[in-house]
Amino acid sequence: IYFQKYEKGIAVSPLEVIGKTNKRGTTIQFVADAESVQETTIYKFDNLKERMQQLSFLNKGLKLNIADKRYEKETFFNFCHEKGLQDYLNFINTSHKQTPFHEIFYLEKESQKLAFEIVFEYTTKIRPHKKDAQGNEIEEKEGKDAIPNYTQSQKIFSFVNNIPTHEGGTHEEGFKLALNRVISKYAKELNLLKKDEHLLSEDILEGITA
C-alpha cells in the first residue's frame, strides 16, 4: 500500500509503503483548504454523492465508494454499473417517468485517436385518466385507461473525458446531424416523405433521451 500527502496540489511527503494488500484501487481522503476555497469549506455531501454516481455511470464496471466521516454517524454509499451509459439512460428515464418506445440503441467505438460511446432511445409519458376521491390524478403506466402523452422534450447529456459539456460541442452536434441523416434516408427509402419534404432536427430529436 502506497501513501502520499498533498497540500494545495503539491506533495508534502515522500511516497511511502505503509502495508501490503491483494486489493486494487485508490483511496482519497480530503478536507477543504480555507485559503484556496474561499466560498465555503463545508461540503454538501449530496453533491459529491451525485457526482460519484454519475462517474460510475460514465465508466462501466468501475467501483466507486464515498463516505462522509465528518460526523459521529458515518454515511457511506457505493456505486457500480456494469452497463454504464445504458444504466444511466434507464436512470434518467425512470427519474423523469418516461416510458421507452423501444430497446436501447447503444454504440461503442475506439480508434488510435479517440473512443466514444453513444446511447439513446425515444420515450413517451403515460397520461393518467382516473382521479381519486380528492380529485388528484392517479398515474397509470399500464392498462386500457392509460394513453400515451407524446412528449416534445429532449434530454441530451454529453461528456468529454467524464466532464459534462452543458453547452454542447462538435461531438453533440455530430450526433444530432448523423441521427437526422440516417432517419431521413430511411424515411425517403420507404416513401414516408412527400416530394421535397425534409425532416428538421427538432422533428428527429422530439422525445429522445441520449
Cell readout for 83 is 452497463
Residue 36: which pLDDT band, with cuts at 50, 70 and 90?
Answer: confident
Residue 85 in contact with residue 57, Cβ under 8 Å?
yes
Residue in the structure block whose three cell numbers are 402523452: 149
Residue in the structure block whose three cell numbers are 441520449: 210
Residue 156: which pLDDT band, with cuts at 50, 70 and 90?
Answer: very high
- CA atoms of 141 and 128, how far apart (whole Å): 8
Residue 138 in contact with residue 161, Cβ under 8 Å?
no
Query: Which residue has better confidence, 108 or 33?
Result: 108
Q: What is the mean pLDDT of the chain?
A: 87
Angle CA 81–67–51, to nearest 5 = 50
**Res 148 pLDDT > 90:** no
Among 33-47, 66-80, 124-138, the least confident range: 124-138
**Res 179 pLDDT > 70:** yes
What is the sign of the dihedral through the CA atoms of 165, 100, 85 and 187?
A: negative
**Res 155 pLDDT > 70:** yes
Contacts of 100 (CB under 8 A, 6+ apart): 93, 121, 122, 123
**Res 14 pLDDT > 70:** yes
Distances in Å between the alpha carbon of 52 and those of 44, 61, 117, 129?
13, 13, 19, 39
Query: Which residue has better confidence, 98 or 164?
Result: 164
| Mean predicted confidence (pLDDT) in 168-186 | 93
Contacts of 171 (CB under 8 A, 6+ apart): 116, 158, 160, 165
**pLDDT at residue 151 in the model:** 60
Rg (CA), the chain: 23
- CA atoms of 195 and 192, how far apart (whole Å): 10
DSSP-derived pairing of the beta strands 130-131 and 99-100: unpaired
Which phi and psi (to 5°) does residue 65 adopt?
-120, 140
pTM of the model: 0.78
Among 12-16, 126-130, 182-186, the least confident range: 126-130
**pLDDT at residue 140 in the model:** 54
- CA atoms of 85 and 158, how far apart (whole Å): 11
Residue 122: which pLDDT band, with cuts at 50, 70 and 90?
Answer: very high
| Mean predicted confidence (pLDDT) in 161-185 | 94
All domains of the chain, ordered by start, with CATH? Answer: 2-79 (3.30.565.10), 85-209 (3.30.230.10)
Q: pLDDT over 90 for what percent of the chain?
A: 53
Cell readout for 5 is 500527502
